[in-house]
Chains A and B, each alone.
Chain A
Amino acid sequence: MDWLTTVDHKKIGILYLIAGGFFFLVGGLEALLIRIQLWKPLNDFVSADTYNELITMHGTTMIFLAAMPMLFALMNAVVPLQIGARDVAFPFVNALGFWTFFFGAVLLNVSWFTSTGAPAAGWTAYAPLSGPAFSTGHGMDYYVLGLQIAGIGTLIGGINFLVTIINMRAPGMTFMRMPMFTWASFITSALILFAFPALAVGLAALMFDRVFDANFFDPNNGGNAVLWEHIFWIFGHPEVYILILPAFGVISEVISTFSRKRLFGYSSMVFATILIGFLGFMVWAHHMFTTGLGPVANALFSIATMLIAVPTGIKIFNWIFTMWGGSIKFTSANLYAVGFIPTFVMGGVTGVMLAAAPADFQYHDTYFVVAHFHYVIVGGLILGIFSGLHYWWPKMFGRILNETLGKWTFWMFYIGFHLTFFIQHFLGLLGMPRRIWTYLDGLGFNEMNLISTIGAIMMGIGTIMFILNVVITNAKPQNAADDPWEDGRTLEWTIPSPPPEYNFKQTPLVRGYDAYWKEKMDGHKGMTPAEPIGSIHMPSPSILPFTMSLGLFITGFGLMYSRDWTFITEHIGFYIAGLGLLITFGSMFLRSVYDDHGFHIEPEELEDKGVKA
């Protein structure tokens, strides 16, 4: 019950981690089934229809239900601590964001257990394939409504982080003293704010097409299928940077900490992050070179895409220069961070190759593209998340993950990853198309696919080893020091592990970049407080975020079956949808009418640890 009503950002972070981790396993299982199907020619392990469901749900799950929640887990766990805040700006909204994501995710995955099966039009849901004419059954309904509900959670989460970072920084924490992970979270949140509403409109229009016979994307009724591609990618391309920028932030923190050096070129890192965020919106049509937009559009989007390599290159070199001459400690977290750099460079290089429009006509819809984006997303984002989890685990849970097992996990996962995806570049160049459920013998694809499948199994074993590590670590007592890596540079390492619910007994005074490191170098034991010890105001827990999201879940469910269910009366689905909306709006009304004054923690209740005065 405590977990259903919590509004504490640290607990919400843990909820995001558990739910995101669970869906990571689900998406990983789907990936393994895909790879088992492809390990030999003319395999019939799964049917073609099931294969389409698997690739659709693998992509959708990994992007929306695994990667983003795990990033939100890290952001929730760390960002308020890094800026010296007691909580996020809107704790209630934070909880609401988690629960809408959770119920949207559950709704999407309920589709597996229905008679018409999971969505099967690819994670990009290209119209008119995703429309009512080609995707009969309810699979795509689950896609549009599940993602719509989950998207609300992401959007309000993004707004919450923006306000938190703008308004709630500790005294002295100027923008140019903010840790890189916080900066990355800030830019990511801005991208979420401007990208997700476009997706919301696209999903709503597709939903209208499917449920209410609208004509947005159906060419037979004047609709325009390319419109879907524009709307999807004006969201979808920034989404890539929404995913990768926080990983960049993690890498900056980890490499700097374990090289025992200030991050090289901090201000250039900040501006590179902003520039990547900006350019991320300018390049969406590079997903559509073969759609027939014409040479002028293709050339412009081609050049804009290649420009992104410049700020990304700045970041890569800054990480390398940070390590240069540092006394590097290869902890598990740092192994992932160092392993990230060459992997991401490879993903970036193939990205530039794909950005050349004429070349893209050759690579388009082959395994080369699959290899490219898995290098970016798995080799970039997932390595970044693993790095961040190893790095901040002691802060989140008070226990250090087993280092030996962590290193074994890294090598198992890392070798498995390259085995899986490096070879797919060549499969693509040989002409193996993506999204096919099997292939003929004698095309030269056999051995490479087998190797790729073996690599995927190794990644699976690596993931299981990580879970094993979590279980083993969880059995240990909480004994992590405030600053378990002993080289912590930022504010989160100045408070106990795990932090008390109010985070900072006294708000710290920040006197420079790498605030804690600066105090250490000046010979101080901890931060100078910016305020006397006083009573701390806390928000009270609430069940309303849960009920609001539950209402949306019921609405989505009713809407989908509005035409099928007639067992009591016609259109009973609409009544169920109405009931769901009633629950949601009722909860909103209660929230708005009853003021939540929260409670106070008085000075005498504060534990005698934490920041020393």
Chain B
Amino acid sequence: MSSHSHAEGQLPHEPEKATLEGRNKVLGFWLFLGGETVLFGTLFSAFLALRHQVLDGPQPNELFKLSLVAAATAILLTSSLTSVFAIQALHNHNVKALINWLIVTVVLGLGFLGLEIYEFYHYVHEGHGFTTSAFSSSFYTLVGFHGAHVAFGIVWISSIIGQLMKKGLTVVTAPKVYVAGMYWHFIDVVWVFIFTVVYLMGKVV
């Protein structure tokens, strides 16, 4: 690791790929996201197989409020944009902007999570509990797994913000930021599929 030689003000343009450790982390994370794709793919398959099994519970088209989901979607997609700004700040070695954009990203993530918790709370009151039907179990599992990913990302990025404040931008912290950014994009992409497959298709049928 050559972090010591770089730390003195001569950070390379792409500090996340400056060391072998950094390159390993980025590649390893790409592969991890490949595995995550299979994970969500399987959850989507289970949902698609079970989504008509509503039993006595509400139908998806009675249940879903598209305005709420659209607001959540807009918030989450915006947070993807702000995380891109964060990575741009990383490449410009602007630690202050980097931290600020990450904070904005986390706040937007929290907003999304808040809406989702409200949404779930609302559905349970409509008679759509986790154990109501196979549809409800697979719905909460798929959307809940995504929500748990968002929650994990919020905690993760927050801890990275703390490290950036303490240690600044180095070849050690840069890969962490970059990888967390990849993660955040990934959960955004997954949400686009959830919005389409769960909510839009639920409204149609």
Contact = CB atoms under 8 A, between A and B. Distances in A.
Given A163-B24, A216-B137, A222-B134, A201 B42 contact: yes
Contacts of A234: 42
A204 interface: yes
Interface string A195-233: 111101110110011001111101001111001001100
A593 B53 CA distance: 46
B31 A159 contact: yes
Contacts of B74: none
Contact of B1 (A202, A214, A537, A593): A537
B100 interface: no
B42 A198 contact: yes
A288 B134 CA distance: 23
Interface string B108-148: 00000000000000000000001101111110010000000
A182 to B, nearest CB: 17
A227 B49 contact: yes
B66 interface: no
A213 B131 CA distance: 6
A167 interface: yes
A249 B103 CA distance: 49
B141 A223 contact: no
B49 A593 contact: no
Query: Ordered nearest first, which 7 A-B pairs have the shortest CB separation?
Result: A222-B53, A222-B134, A197-B39, A214-B137, A201-B42, A197-B38, A89-B24
Contacts of A589: 159
Interface string A593-610: 101011000000000000
Given A194-B34, A598-B1, A202 B137 contact: no
Nearest to B131: A213
Contacts of A208: 130, 137, 141
Contact of B46 (A159, A193, A201, A221): A201
A592 interface: yes
Interface in B6-37: 20, 23-24, 27-28, 31-32, 34-36
A306 interface: no
B55 A221 contact: yes
A223 B42 CA distance: 15
Given A214-B130, A224-B49, A592-B159, A159 B172 contact: no
Contacts of B133: 215, 221-222
A193 B24 contact: no
Contact of B172 (A163, A204, A595): A595
B46 A214 contact: no
26 contacts: A90-B28, A159-B28, A163-B24, A163-B31, A193-B34, A193-B35, A197-B39, A198-B39, A198-B41, A205-B141, A208-B130, A213-B131, A215-B50, A215-B136, A215-B137, A216-B141, A222-B54, A223-B50, A223-B53, A223-B137, A224-B49, A231-B42, A231-B46, A537-B1, A593-B163, A595-B172
Contacts of B36: 197
Interface in A558-600: 589, 592-593, 595, 597-598
Contacts of A167: 20, 23-24, 27
Q: Is the interface of B mostly helix, strand, loop or mixed?
A: helix
B200 interface: no
Contact of A194 (B38, B46, B55, B137): B38
Nearest to B57: A222
A214 B36 CA distance: 23
Interface of B: 1, 3, 20, 23-24, 27-28, 31-32, 34-36, 38-39, 41-43, 45-46, 49-50, 53-55, 130-131, 133-138, 141, 159, 162-163, 167, 172, 176
A160 interface: yes
A166 interface: yes
A63 interface: no
Contacts of B176: 592
B64 to A, nearest CB: 19
Given A215-B131, A222-B133, A193 B31 contact: yes
Contacts of A214: 130-131, 137, 141
A397 B17 CA distance: 37
Contacts of B27: 163, 166-167
A222 B134 CA distance: 5
Nearest to B133: A222
A599 to B, nearest CB: 11
A223 B31 contact: no
A202 B42 contact: yes
B134 A224 contact: yes
Contacts of B20: 167-168
Given A163-B24, A224-B53, 9 more contacts: A89-B28, A163-B31, A167-B24, A194-B34, A198-B38, A198-B42, A201-B46, A231-B45, A589-B159
B50 A227 contact: yes
A74 interface: no
A82 to B, nearest CB: 18
A31 interface: no
Contacts of A193: 31, 34-35, 38
Contact of A159 (B32, B53, B138): B32
Contact of B141 (A197, A204, A218, A537): A204
A354 to B, nearest CB: 26
Nearest to A194: B38
A222 B27 CA distance: 41
Nearest to A88: B24
A77 interface: no
A214 to B, nearest CB: 4
Contacts of B45: 230-231
Interface string A84-101: 000001100000000000
A200 to B, nearest CB: 6
A284 to B, nearest CB: 12
Contacts of A593: 159, 162-163
A160 B25 CA distance: 10
A597 B32 CA distance: 24
A197 B1 contact: no
Nearest to B23: A167
B14 to A, nearest CB: 16
Contacts of A173: none
